[in-house]
Amino acid sequence: MTFTVITRGFKQEFERWTDALETANGLRPQLKSWFIDIRIFDDKNLVWMYSKLRAHPEYIGPGTYDRLARLFMAEGKVEAASRQPWNIRGHQFNWGERTYLMGVINVTPDSFSDGGQFNTLEAALRQAHTLIEANIDILDIGGQSTRPGAEQISLGEELNRVVPVIEAIRQTDALKQAVISVDTTRTTVARAAIEAGADIINDISGATYEPDMLKVAAETEVPIILMHLRGTPETMQQMTDYDDLLGEMSASLRKQIDQALAVGVPMQNICIDPGIGFAKTYPQNLDILRRLSELAELGCPLLVGASRKSFIGWILDQPDPQQREWGTAAACAAAIAGGADILRVHSTAMVDVARVADAIWR
C-alpha cells in the first residue's frame, strides 16, 4: 500500500500513512490561494484533504473519521507486530526490556579479530561453552570472513566450516538449547545450517547478494537479520560516498524489509543492522552511533556490531583488534543509549557493560 500526497507543484509517494500525513500538514503554510488544496490518496482513493475554503478542512464525506482511525490503527498494528518478542528454544527476547548479546564464533582462518582461534571443531565448541556460561544470548556461527578486502571462499568450504559446528553444538547436552544464528549470505548455507539446528539467519548483505535468502527465512519461519552494506567486503570501502548517510541507509533497509514482507517473512521476524564498518568511513561509523535512534522508525529490533572494529582502532591508535576492549565497551554503551536491542560482541566482558548500560538507559 502506498500513499500519495498531491498539491500544486508537489507529488510524493509514501509507504506509511503517518509519513504522508506529516508531509501534507507541513505543506499547509504554503497554501497561498483559497482555491488550492492538499490531497492524500490511498492508491486511487482519496483519504484526506485540506482546503482553506472548507468549514471542516479534513472532512470528505460520511465515514471520514472512521477511515482515518482505521489507517492509524493499521499502522499501529504493524509497528506493534514488528516489536513482538522472539521465542526460540525456551528463550524469550523481549525487545526494550534489556540488551541481548550475540557472541561471535568465527570458524575462519582470516577474520579480522579472531581468525584462526576457533577454526577447529574443538576450539569452536570450547568458545561456545565459554559464551553460554557467561550468559551470552545467541551464538553467531560464521565460516566466511567479511573483513575489508576478504575474498569469497567456495560454497563447499563454507558448508564444511559451519555445519559441523552447529551439529556438534546441538549434540552437546550443555549447549543443545543454545540459540544459534548463522552468519552467511548464501541460501544453500542458510538452509543447511537451519537443518543442522540454526535458529536465525544473519545476512550481512541484507539479502541483496542472494534475494532468495528472504524466501528461505519465510519457508523455514526463522528470524532474519538484514544488514546495510554496499558492494562486497572486497570493494565496500571504495563505496562510502553518501549525500544523506542515515537517510540512504534507512531507505535501503526499508526496501529490504518490504521485499521480505512481500515473500512472506512476518514483520516480527525481521531485525536490522546498520552495518558499522561496512562501506562506512571511520567518522561515518561515529555518526551512525550518535544517530542510531533514527532507525527506530523502521519498526524492527536493532542489532549493532561495533566490537573491535577498525574505527575504534583509529580513535585509539590501536592496530591490534584484541586490544580494543575498552573502546568496544564505550561503543556498546553508546549503542545501548541509542536503542540497540542486540549487540554482536567478541568478548564476554561486554555482559557487564550491557548490564550497567541497561540500568542507566532502560
Question: Of the listed 161, 186, 191, 309, which one is catalytic?
Answer: 309
Is 16 within 8 Å of 9 (Cβ atoms)? Answer: no
Query: In a 10 Å sphere around its CB, with 0-12 CB exposed, 13-18 middle and 19+ buried, how is residue 319 labelled?
Result: exposed
Q: Are residues 132 and 48 in the same domain?
A: no
Q: Provide the pLDDT for residue 243.
A: 93
Phi, psi (deg, nearest 5) at residue 234:
-75, -30
Longest dimension (CA), the chain: 76
Tell me the DSSP string of 66-106.
HHHHHHHHHHHHHHHHHTPPEEETTEEE-BTTB-EEEEEEE
Q: Are residues 131 and 226 in the same domain?
A: yes
**8 Å CB contact between 158 and 187:** no
Burial bucket for residue 360 (CB in 10 Å: 0-12, 13-18, 19+)? exposed
C-alpha cell at position 189: 548455507
Give dist(CA 300, CA 350) in Å, integer.
23
Determine the Cα–Cα distance for residues 86 and 155; give it in Å rounded to an integer.
30
Based on the domain organization, do 152 and 293 belong to the same domain?
Answer: yes
144 and 188 share one domain: yes
- What pLDDT is recorded for position 237? 85
Task: Name, in order, each residue with C-beta under 8 angstroms of 85's C-beta and a sequence gap of 6 or more.
Answer: 92, 93, 94, 95
Q: Which helix (H) or strand (E) holds 169?
A: helix 155-170
Other beta carbons less than 10 A from residue 171's beta carbon? 11
Q: Tell me if residue 309 is catalytic.
A: yes
Q: What pLDDT is stored for residue 67 in this prediction?
A: 72
Write down the catalytic residue from 11, 344, 355, 362.
344
Are residues 226 and 332 located together in one domain of the fold? yes
User: Which residues touch 330 (CB under 8 Å, ≥6 apart)?
Assistant: none
Q: Residue 155 belongs to a domain with what CATH number?
A: 3.20.20.20
Q: Based on the fold, state whether residues 132 and 52 are members of the same structural domain.
A: no
Instruction: Please name the helix (run of DSSP H) or strand (run of DSSP E) that holds residue 130, with its range, or none.
Output: helix 121-133
Catalytic-residue membership of 83: no
C-alpha of 352 from chain center? 23
Domain that includes residue 57, residue range: 3-80
pLDDT digit of tens for each residue in the chain (362 aa)?
689 999 988 999 998 888 888 898 889 888 878 788 899 998 778 888 888 776 665 666 676 767 777 777 677 656 555 679 999 999 999 999 999 999 999 998 744 444 456 778 999 999 999 999 999 999 999 998 877 766 788 999 999 999 999 999 999 999 999 999 999 999 999 999 999 999 999 999 999 999 999 999 999 999 999 999 998 888 888 889 999 999 999 999 999 999 999 999 999 999 999 999 999 999 999 999 999 999 998 999 999 999 999 999 999 999 999 999 999 999 999 999 999 999 999 999 999 999 999 999 98
pLDDT of residue 89: 97
- 45 and 189, same structural domain? no
Q: Cell numbers for 148, please give them.
A: 575489508
Q: Comparing C-alpha atoms, which of 275, 241, 243 is closest to residue 256?
A: 275
| Domain C-terminal end among 80, 113, 129 | 80
pTM confidence score: 0.78
User: How many domains, the chain?
Assistant: 2
Q: Are residue 147 and residue 222 in the same domain, yes or no?
A: yes
